[in-house]
Structure 1
Amino acid sequence: MIELTSEQVAALADVDAKGFVERVRQALMSEEPELVNTAFLWARLWRAFNVARGIGIREDAHLIEFLRLEAYSPSFYEKPAMRAWIKRSGHSADERFHDFLCVLRWRIEHPEFVGGLTYGDDTGAAAGERRRGVWAGFVERWKGFAGWCGYGGGGKRGG
């Protein structure tokens, strides 16, 4: 049996992590061709991966969603509200991030409750609609992420 030093094990883990990030990047670019021209996408995803692991996110599904968010909203994890949410005590980082995704999805699906909408404002209820607000850029991308919060699909909570 081959015995590896701790440095060799760390190097293998690094290669595996970089392969994971590259697979996510390739999937993102095949789903959203405009990301091909995004400057420094791999470097941003690698940094986000390390941030996610550093705060305790371990589940592959959550790591993938963390990287997806980074692709569409650079450095989202540095926003004060996100930092406060993810560092709350009482649950694992995976559980807190899962809850964050549920809240994000709900806000996307219910723009009338996000705030600021009044009678006559566009809520994006019809096909081909015009969307406004902070969540507008996420709507179409998140529609395909079935499985969160009991909406069906292959995703599941916990693990």
Structure 2
Amino acid sequence: MLELTSEQVAGLAEIDARGYVERVRQDLIKADPKFADDTTLPTRLWNAYIAARQLGIHADENVEAFLRIEAYAPNFYAKPATRAWLTRPGRSPDERFHDYFRVIKWRVQHPEYNGGLENGSSTSTTGGGIGGAWTGLGASWRRLVGRRRTGGDSEPVQ
């Protein structure tokens, strides 16, 4: 019988986690081909994965949503208000993140309560399957938080 050391088990777990993050990255590229040119994306997603785990976010659907938000809003989890909410006592980090995500999603889908739409754009996240939903959510997220995705040379990617 093969016996592995704790270091070997940890190494295998990291390989598995990196594969998971890469699959999320590939899904993001399929949904929004502009991500293919973002050379910072693999590192940002890996760092976000580590941050999610350190925050105590473990549910698969929450980790994936965490990574997807990171793709559209780099280092969103490092903002003091976000970090304070996610680490606030009383509920698990998974529950807190789920609530956070639901609020953000609602705000994107109801821009009339956030000061209206910019340039007459639509925030519909219902068409085009899950990829279209995340693309719409990402564009609206960037408007909501005032950020734009940048390419490897820090120029905005439109």
Regarding TM over 0.5, the answer is yes
**Counterparts of 1:59 and 1:14 in 2: how far apart (Å)?**
17
Alignment of 1:141 onto 2:140:
no
Is the Cα–Cα contact under 8 Å of residues 111 and 117 in structure 2 kept in the other structure?
Answer: yes
- Residue segments in structure 2 that go unaligned for 5+ positions in a row: 124-133, 140-158
CA RMSD, Structure 1 to Structure 2 (Å)? 2.3
1:16-65 CA deviation, whole Å, 9 max, x = no partner? 01000000001111111001011211000000000000000001111110
**Counterparts of 2:10 and 2:44 in 1: how far apart (Å)?**
21
Higher relative contact order (CA 8 A, sep 6+): 2
**1:150 — aligned with what?**
none
**Counterparts of 2:7 and 2:100 in 1: how far apart (Å)?**
35
1:110, CA displacement in angstroms?
1.7
Alignment of 1:32 onto 2:41:
no
**2:96 — aligned with what?**
96
**Counterparts of 1:95 and 1:123 in 2: how far apart (Å)?**
29
Describe the SS at the equivalent of 1:7: helix
Quickly say closer, same or farther: Cα 1:20–1:139, change in 2 above 3 A: closer
Aligned residue type for 1:140: G
Is the Cα–Cα contact under 8 Å of residues 108 and 139 in structure 1 kept in the other structure?
Answer: no
Runs of 4+ in 1 over 3 A off after TM superposition: none
Q: Provide the identity percentage.
A: 48
Q: Greater CA radius of gyration, 1 or 2?
A: 1
Aligned residue type for 2:25: R
**Counterparts of 2:113 and 2:89 in 1: how far apart (Å)?**
27
Q: Which has the higher helix share?
A: 2
**2:66 — aligned with what?**
66
Describe the SS at the equivalent of 1:91: coil
1:112, CA displacement in angstroms?
2.0
Is the Cα–Cα contact under 8 Å of residues 45 and 71 in structure 1 kept in the other structure?
Answer: yes
- Residue segments in structure 1 that go unaligned for 5+ positions in a row: 133-137, 144-159
1:130, CA displacement in angstroms?
2.6
